[in-house]
């Protein structure tokens, strides 16, 4: 028995009965889509509000499918929904026919298609972000054979040509292929996949998308011959597409926060998008090349690109660039270009114009080098010799074209400036200007306007502080961040200026990554716990920067 809850007024029959049924595959499978269900899902506030109704074309030649919101302005659906006919190669770019996606009561035009060539899947870019609906999560692994799965879609049912509501159906995983799943109706049900369900999400037991409905025999669907009783279906795999999805989401225009977090034996990148959502984390070494393990990193945005410094497990220092279009350069050996250092323990980086300034901590010293726009490096220079010894950490920021550097020695913070003419000022004890704290274990810096912002973790990370150095040399007193971050133990802190605001991130002893923003009016946002999708272990050290995509 069905219990259907109407979500919107039905559409004219002609708008739906032509859905992606065109080619007959081996054995007679017909191109279609997802579920006609035993239980209707009420309204957009329901559990599967991220399921989209997709319309392609207008008038009598229009066709309808399903899809799923995977980012504020991205819907994942079946490529066959947009192709001239199933099996045709779908070109990337603007849809050939007018296409829309409906989520709840919001109807948005599809402006761009990013199809896969190896399976029936496409990312559809929406004209603007959807608000009030949380995108679905993408699974990171295939379900086990025989696992229970749920499929959701807006296709026809056994009794309705054009249902005005979402349906779900129960299925099990029969087998797994390189790019597809074979599904069976769950025992004891007659659930089936009908026209209009193509592109509907197949969900695992955790409610994550693991596949998209693609083809079915359509047994039991309205309009199918009564002699056809087969209800098994084929779905396009999605669990191995998360990185592809995130790469395209990260192309969004506007200011973004790039976060690089050490976990396990590598460093992983995630991006905070202009709408405040985060992509999953992806392995830096998998993107570029293996370094035999990465134990720490630094990052800086330069003219839309993201420059990354990575310390390998063998204490080598390597540089790579993530280009604005999402591609990566190979690793370059910094020591071969700027000189070999001793025992390298930490690195920090910041951009000044088109130059990349790097401060490395090695053998208890802070050493500075510059990479110019042509890719040439200056030799490392010891900038603490005779002034501060036993340096354990460093941070950098840019203010009015000058390099601001903070270091930690003996649990105390020190500050210096490299002026635009290359001259270095003496090192000053920050505590004498901003007040004393307990022993400092981590430091982050960011420049904004005339201000240099310092964020530190002290007392074994149990207390976090913030202070500002003004361009005229005056300092504000250290202010504790307990009212901002709560009672946490920070393992690592980082700061970055993003569109004129200070964004602070911290990894914590209980395995979390926290993010907050200090606005220009000096108010702080409540901290957000960043999803750690893609991290193989608890987060450790981190580095952040800002990039802008036009």
Question: How far is C-alpha 39 from the geometric centre of its chain's CA atoms?
Answer: 33
The values of phi and psi at residue 509, to 5°, are -65, -20
Length of the chain: 550
Of the candidates 503, 490, 486, 502, which has an alpha carbon nearest to the alpha carbon of residue 458?
Answer: 490
Q: Which helix (H) or strand (E) holds 505?
A: strand 501-508
Nearest to 284 by CA among 258, 251, 254: 258
pLDDT at 145: 94
Distance CA 457, CA 7 (A): 50
Domain annotation for the chain: domains and CATH numbers: 13-242 (2.40.10.120), 250-549 (2.120.10.70)
Residue range 392-406, pLDDT digits in tens:
999 999 999 999 999
CB 388 within 8 A of CB 407: yes
pLDDT in tens, 67-102: 999 999 999 999 999 998 877 899 999 999 999 999
Q: How far is CA 225 from CA 2, 159, 220, 230, in A?
A: 21, 13, 8, 11
Task: With a cut of 90, say whether residue 299 has pLDDT above it.
Answer: yes
What pLDDT is stored for residue 130 in this prediction? 92
Using CA atoms, how far apart are residues 224 and 221, in angstroms rounded to an integer? 6
pLDDT tens figures, 8-58:
322 332 223 223 332 222 222 333 333 333 223 333 346 799 999 999 998
pLDDT in tens, 403-444: 999 999 999 999 999 999 999 999 999 999 999 999 999 999
Q: How far apart are CA 283 and CA 204, in angstroms?
A: 24
- The pLDDT, as a whole number, for residue 161 is 61
Q: Cα(263)–Cα(285) distance, rounded to whole angstroms?
A: 12
Query: Radius of gyration over alpha carbons of the chain, in Å?
Result: 27
Cβ neighbors of 22 (< 8 A, separation 6 or more) are: 31, 85, 86, 87
Residue-wise pLDDT for 463-479, tens only, equals: 999 999 999 999 999 99
Q: Find the angle CA(144)-CA(150)-CA(154) to the nearest 5 degrees.
A: 145
State the virtual CA torsion across 470, 472, 474, 478 in degrees, nearest 10: 10
- CB of 417 closer than 8 Å to CB of 402: yes
- E strand intervals along 379-486: 381-382, 391-399, 402-409, 412-418, 428-429, 440-448, 451-458, 463-470, 479-480
The structure tokens 């005779």 sit at: 386
The whole-number pLDDT of residue 169 equals 87
- Specify burial of residue 265 (Cβ count, 10 A radius: 0-12, 13-18, 19+): middle
Distant-in-sequence, close-in-space partners of 376: CB < 8 Å, separation ≥ 6: 337
Q: Residue 159 above 70 pLDDT?
A: no
Place of tokens 């998008």: 273
């Amino acid at each position: 028995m069905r219990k259907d809850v109407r979500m919107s007024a039905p559409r004219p029959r002609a708008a739906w009965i032509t859905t992606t049924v065109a080619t007959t595959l081996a054995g007679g499978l017909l191109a279609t889509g997802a579920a006609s269900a035993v239980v209707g899902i009420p309204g957009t506030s329901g559990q599967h509000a991220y399921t989209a109704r997709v319309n392609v074309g207008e008038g009598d030649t229009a066709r309808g499918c399903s899809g799923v919101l995977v980012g504020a302005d991205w819907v994942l659906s079946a490529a066959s929904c947009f192709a001239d006919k199933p099996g045709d190669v779908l070109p990337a770019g603007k849809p050939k026919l007018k296409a829309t996606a409906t989520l709840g009561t919001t109807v948005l035009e599809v402006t761009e298609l990013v199809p896969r060539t190896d399976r029936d899947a496409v990312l559809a870019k929406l004209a603007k972000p959807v608000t009030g609906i949380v995108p679905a999560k993408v699974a990171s692994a295939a379900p086990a054979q025989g696992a229970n799965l749920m499929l959701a879609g807006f296709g026809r049912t056994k009794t309705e040509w054009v249902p005005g509501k979402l349906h779900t159906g129960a299925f099990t995983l029969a087998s797994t292929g390189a790019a597809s799943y074979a599904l069976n109706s769950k025992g004891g049900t007659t659930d089936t996949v009908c026209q209009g369900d193509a592109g509907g999400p197949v969900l695992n037991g955790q409610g994550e998308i693991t596949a998209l409905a693609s083809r079915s025999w359509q047994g039991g669907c309205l309009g199918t011959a009564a002699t056809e009783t087969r209800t098994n279906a084929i779905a396009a795999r999605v669990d191995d597409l998360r990185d592809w999805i995130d790469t395209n989401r990260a192309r969004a225009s506007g200011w973004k926060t790039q976060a690089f977090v050490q976990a396990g034996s590598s460093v992983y990148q995630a991006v905070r998008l202009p709408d405040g959502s985060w992509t999953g984390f992806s392995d830096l070494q998998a993107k570029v090349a293996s370094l035999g393990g990465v134990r720490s990193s630094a990052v800086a945005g330069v003219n839309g690109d993201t420059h990354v410094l990575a310390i390998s497990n063998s204490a080598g220092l390597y540089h790579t660039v993530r280009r604005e279009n999402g591609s990566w350069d190979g690793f370059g050996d910094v020591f071969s270009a700027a000189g070999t250092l001793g025992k390298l323990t930490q690195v920090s980086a910041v951009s000044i114009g088109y130059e990349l300034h790097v401060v490395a901590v090695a053998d208890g010293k802070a050493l500075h080098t510059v990479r110019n726009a042509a890719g040439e490096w200056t030799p490392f220079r010891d900038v603490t010799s005779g002034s501060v010894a036993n340096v354990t950490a460093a941070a950098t920021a840019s203010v009015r074209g000058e390099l601001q550097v903070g270091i930690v020695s003996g649990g105390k913070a020190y500050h210096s400036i490299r002026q635009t003419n290359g001259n270095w000022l003496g090192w000053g004890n920050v505590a004498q200007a901003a007040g004393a704290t307990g022993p400092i274990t981590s430091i982050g810096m960011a420049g904004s306007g005339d201000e240099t912002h310092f964020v530190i973790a002290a007392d074994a990370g149990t207390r976090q502080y913030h202070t500002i150095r003004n361009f005229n040399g005056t300092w504000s007193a250290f202010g504790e961040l307990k009212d901002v971050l709560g009672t946490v133990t920070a393992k690592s802190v980082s700061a970055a200026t993003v569109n004129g605001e200070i964004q602070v991130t911290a990894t914590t002893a209980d395995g979390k990554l926290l993010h907050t923003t200090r606005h220009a009016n000096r108010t702080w946002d409540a901290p957000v716990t960043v999803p750690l999708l893609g991290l193989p272990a608890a987060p450790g050290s981190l580095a952040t920067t800002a990039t802008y995509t036009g």
